[in-house]
Structure 1
Amino acid sequence: MKLGFDKWIVVLTVTTAALLQTIDSSIVNVTLNQMMGNLGASLGDISWVVTGYAAASAVMITMSGWLSAKLGRRNYFAASIVVFTIASVLCGLSTNVWELVFFRVLQGIGGGGLLTTAQSILIQTFPKEDIGVANAIFGLGVIIGPSIGPTLGGYITDNLSWNWVFYINIPFGIVATVLTYMYIKEPAEKIAAGKMDWLALVMLVIGIGGLQIILEKGEEKDWFESGFITTMTTAAVLCLIGFIWRQLTVSQPILDLRLLRRRRFAVGTLFNFILGFGLFASVFLIPVFCQTILGFTASQTGLLLMPGSIMTGFMMPVVGGLLKKNVISPIWYAAAGFLLFFGFSYGLSNITPDAGPDYFFWPLIIRGIGMGLIFIPLTTVTLADLAPVEIPQGSALSNTIRQLGGTFGTAIMTTYISTRSVLHISRLTDNLSIYNPISVERIRQYTNLFLSKGDALAAATTKAYRLIQGGAIKQAMVMTYADSFLIIGGFFLVCIPLLLLFIGKKIEAPAHAEMVME
């Protein structure tokens, strides 16, 4: 099997572009703590850096097919790389959190078209006998990105600054843009762009954006006591209802919601939402928890995340090979994956304030195996009943829903941490009283400790109270994050029985499921 030199360059080009998107989706997470400190941002504010990017990518996935046809596949691919690269520079130059959020949204607009367009370029460039080799190489690049992203981000943050996690995209972006114009060709058969439903797109953006603002700012604004939240809720609900109605009635919808009439596809789309919820929320929470509560460095956090990502990459081709043998239904692989994800969450729900990096190794390995068991089988059963002509729309819809699950999951868990931590802190600090013998004894011990170091009695007593109160607050935050991990796992556990809804005629493993895109 021989591939021409030009075709290998195409593989290199689309893999480089894919690395831009996949590395940046994970590299930022280990720098969030430094961003919060340098930009004076709260946890709720900094979460927009993650959710803004994901939401913008989700919207762009819905437009990628139309834009590719309208502008030309090569031009749209190159434009996506350029927008992504320029936005990366602007992210690195940001001087406050809201500048960073704005440029991350712009970066998401560029990144949203990279993976889907890259995959179509491969499929249309290579003959059938070579597509497997090309997809395997491309898939390796897609898997490497999330694996090395946190480790690379941690090293850069500890040795340079958080700004450089964005600047690192510049050489990749330049190389990918040049190679795109030199080696990627337009397909011989032009695809008519059709008419873009701009009204539906505006309603989708307002609906998603409104829900995001409600989830992120609702607690801060006292929910529906605020006129702003009430107005945003009204606008979001009306726009989403309008979007759904329009997609069900127009002849060329940007997201074909009529596919949800297929039972398996509808259930699979629901599970994609849950998968996005759990995956994005856990990937967001773990680095923040490790650095702000447990005191890990960015490098330590990046290194502890790597084995789990590598395990996911190892499992995906193994599961793909098992699916080809078609001995066990994909449903049971997915069920095992969901159960393992709950095991990961349950393991972290028992964490203690003195946990070290080694504590995370096996829970993250378990999550990595679980993710490997979920991705390809879930794609297989979700798209199994769709006709070939329906698969592009089905993939776009399921990918969009998974991205939205991630944005909502991150926002919901951020709000939950803000409210739950107040409850735990209140409960624990209520026990710090002169009427509590344990508290009195602990304060006496700490006071004597500071007295032995030369402090006056009043200063030693004050320091003792601060120390015991700080310990209580740390314990409260550990309990809050532990609750959060258990809730995330609970979503996966309670949904396992719903996998029975997939049962029907025998599910074959189609060729399009061999490669799972983000």
Structure 2
Amino acid sequence: MSLRPAREGDGKGTINPWLIAPLVALAAFMEVLDISIANVSLQHIAGDLSAGQDESTWILTSYLVTNAVILPVSGWLSSVMGRTRFFVACIIGFSISSLACGLAPTLGLLIVFRAIQGLTGGGLQPTAQAILADSFPPRQRGMAFALYGMAVVFAPAIGPTLGGWITDQFSWRWVFLLNVPIGVVLTMLVTALLQDPPAYTAARLERRRQGAKVDYIGFSLLAVGLGFLQIVLDKGEQEAWFASSFIFWLSVFSLLSLISFVLWELGQKHPIVELRLLFERNFGVANLLMFLLGFILLGSTVLLPELVQRLFGYTATEAGLVITPGGVSIILVMPIVGRLVSVVDSRYLIALGLVICSFALFHMADFSLETDYRTFVWARIYQAFGLSLLFIPINTAAYRFIPATMSSEASALINVARNLGGSFGISLVTTYLSRFGQVHQTTLVAHATPFDAPYRDMMNGLALSFVAQGATAAEASAKALGSIYAIVQKQALLLAFLDDFQMLGIVFLAVLPFVFIMKGGLPGHGPGPAAH
């Protein structure tokens, strides 16, 4: 991207792209952070606004739904409005809606403002990534993506911890109000420093000259398809999935809408989402890998805190501190990976990252009820190191053969892949956690019979200890039975968590062969689009 003051020919030199990179990365960080930062505040919000816990979850769902709808069309909106103008509009809209969320007097209004926040903020991630892709030549793009990666990967890790601390120390309202001063500063700096590159501006003006029309049918199909899909993923487990007619019909309409959307867009001269980019081999495989990165990153980020809270009695803040060191390690490792992608074939880095992540998840599958805090933290750091080897090389490989004029559309698609992967990951790991827990409990209960010697020994031992504490024989027997049932439940839940970790590890290994479908080489070498 051309990083010049607002008017060309004014005598001012080109601005160093490293002045712009932290700004756009901070904008993306602010938006991604808001996906997870409010999670731990739901009970406080529900209590303060006199709402039920189930009702308060729509605060999260409304944001995710509108965010999912706007993400894929952000490239098209950039090409119509101009990338810088669209980026600034997103920052302003996100800041204003954040202010409205922080001041909302009722839950209904808060849900509406959160939907607007997701709608206006959804364009920040892909636009920030497109700006970085155009700001740096291919050989330096790895470092730019390192900065972006630190923002979008660290944000989900720090979100629950930061949100809990702000809520405990101040109020849940400051979770949203914190965005306002940051948004004001970003708006002023981005407006002063950023300008669309000449080639991008020329392509936009040519498109407008040709009279490109708004694809209302495509947008409607996309909004229904992704919006309903996000609700299904967010509410499916709570509503017992397809046992609920609500979830069943939303799934049907979502599937039909998305199939119709793909067929419609492939037949359009000026599609609202450039799906044809997925036919480029590197970009198509990179989207699959980014989907899985989101799947594992957010899936495991949900599992580990829940594990230590439900089985080890950690508080929300303590659970957040299990995740945070992994986020810090990502910040430390990503700049190194950013340099490595210019001298090492991205495919080898991706393969190494997949193997490390897989082994880290298999290590988590060996946790026991005696595992301590230090072990949890190091396991997460181990996994975070693998994740650091994935994000930058995947993005570098994805953009290698994409024309500069299509970077916004490409960024929109790859960010959709990561976000959808995260939604699928969270939904599936929580569903399988429940299902695996039921299976293991059934298996364990089958051994809790008077015909099982270990069960008899434990029952007798517990009963004698309760008698020694003053209980009658009948009371002691009832208490012993209750204690054994609690142990069975705890063991079944632990085994379910371990199965989930193992499943995620297997998924990472299973996609390893896909990495080498991509074309190899180093950025800036061999055939491919010229530097942006």
TM-score by length of 2: 0.79
> Structure 1 pair 414/56, CA: closer, same or farther in 2 (3 Å)?
farther
Q: Which moved more, 1:355-364 or 1:436-445?
A: 436-445
> 2: distance between equivalents of 1:133 and 1:436?
61
Counterpart selection for 1:110 from 105, 108, 120: 120
Say if 2:34 and 2:159, in contact at 8 Å, map to a contact too. Answer: yes
RMSD: 4.1
Q: Which moved more, 1:229-238 or 1:314-323?
A: 229-238
> Structure 1 pair 297/156, CA: closer, same or farther in 2 (3 Å)?
farther
Say if 1:280 and 1:406, in contact at 8 Å, map to a contact too. Answer: yes
> Structure 1 pair 235/508, CA: closer, same or farther in 2 (3 Å)?
same
Q: Which amino acid aligns with 1:195?
A: K
Counterpart selection for 1:169 from 145, 168, 179: 179
Counterpart selection for 2:280 from 262, 270, 282: 262
Counterpart selection for 1:302 from 320, 325, 337: 320
Say if 2:76 and 2:409, in contact at 8 Å, map to a contact too. Answer: no
- 2:346 matched to 1:330? yes
> 1: distance between equivalents of 2:505 and 2:247?
29
- 2:418 matched to 1:428? no
Residue in 1 that maps onto 2:521: 507
How far residue 493 of structure 1 moved from its aligned partner, in angstroms, is 0.5
> 2: distance between equivalents of 1:467 and 1:95?
45
Q: Deviation digits for residues 412-441 of structure 1, max 9, x if unmatched?
A: 222222222222222223333344333333
Residue in 1 that maps onto 2:94: 84
Q: Deviation digits for residues 357-402 of structure 1, max 9, x if unmatched?
A: 2122222122111111111211222232323333332222122112
Residue in 1 that maps onto 2:215: 197
Residue in 2 that maps onto 1:516: none
How far residue 338 of structure 1 moved from its aligned partner, in angstroms, is 0.4
> Structure 1 pair 341/35, CA: closer, same or farther in 2 (3 Å)?
farther
How far residue 34 of structure 1 moved from its aligned partner, in angstroms, is 7.7
Q: Which moved more, 1:331-340 or 1:468-477?
A: 468-477
Counterpart selection for 1:344 from 341, 354, 360: 360
Residue in 2 that maps onto 1:63: 73
Q: Which amino acid aligns with 1:436?
A: D
Q: Which amino acid aligns with 2:348?
A: W
Residue in 2 that maps onto 1:21: 31
Say if 1:211 and 1:233, in contact at 8 Å, map to a contact too. Answer: yes
Say which SS state the counterpart of residue 352 (structure 1) adopts. coil
Say which SS state the counterpart of residue 293 (structure 1) adopts. helix
> Structure 1 pair 280/483, CA: closer, same or farther in 2 (3 Å)?
same
How far residue 483 of structure 1 moved from its aligned partner, in angstroms, is 1.0
Say which SS state the counterpart of residue 508 (structure 1) adopts. coil
Q: Which moved more, 1:291-300 or 1:5-14?
A: 5-14
> Structure 1 pair 289/238, CA: closer, same or farther in 2 (3 Å)?
same
> Structure 1 pair 251/160, CA: closer, same or farther in 2 (3 Å)?
same
Residue in 2 that maps onto 1:419: 435
How far residue 337 of structure 1 moved from its aligned partner, in angstroms, is 0.3
Residue in 2 that maps onto 1:358: 374
Say which SS state the counterpart of residue 368 (structure 2) adopts. coil
Q: Which amino acid aligns with 1:84?
A: F
How far residue 223 of structure 1 moved from its aligned partner, in angstroms, is 5.3
> 1: distance between equivalents of 2:134 and 2:497?
46
Say if 1:47 and 1:410, in contact at 8 Å, map to a contact too. Answer: no
How far residue 254 of structure 1 moved from its aligned partner, in angstroms, is 2.1
TM-score by length of 1: 0.81
Alignment of 1:82-481 (within 5 A): 82-88=92-98, 104-118=114-128, 145-146=155-156, 148-159=158-169, 164-177=174-187, 183=192, 187=196, 191-192=204-205, 194-216=212-234, 224=242, 227-325=245-343, 328-481=344-497
Say if 1:22 and 1:142, in contact at 8 Å, map to a contact too. Answer: yes
Say if 2:459 and 2:481, in contact at 8 Å, map to a contact too. Answer: yes
> 1: distance between equivalents of 2:242 and 2:157?
41
How far residue 6 of structure 1 moved from its aligned partner, in angstroms, is 12
Q: Deviation digits for residues 311-362 of structure 1, max 9, x if unmatched?
A: 222222212212222xx42111100100111111111111112323212222
Aligned residue pairs total: 504
Say if 2:233 and 2:424, in contact at 8 Å, map to a contact too. Answer: yes
How far residue 405 of structure 1 moved from its aligned partner, in angstroms, is 1.4
Residue in 2 that maps onto 1:492: 508
How far residue 178 of structure 1 moved from its aligned partner, in angstroms, is 5.7
> Structure 1 pair 49/461, CA: closer, same or farther in 2 (3 Å)?
farther
> 2: distance between equivalents of 1:95 and 1:292?
33
Say if 2:75 and 2:409, in contact at 8 Å, map to a contact too. Answer: no
How far residue 227 of structure 1 moved from its aligned partner, in angstroms, is 4.2
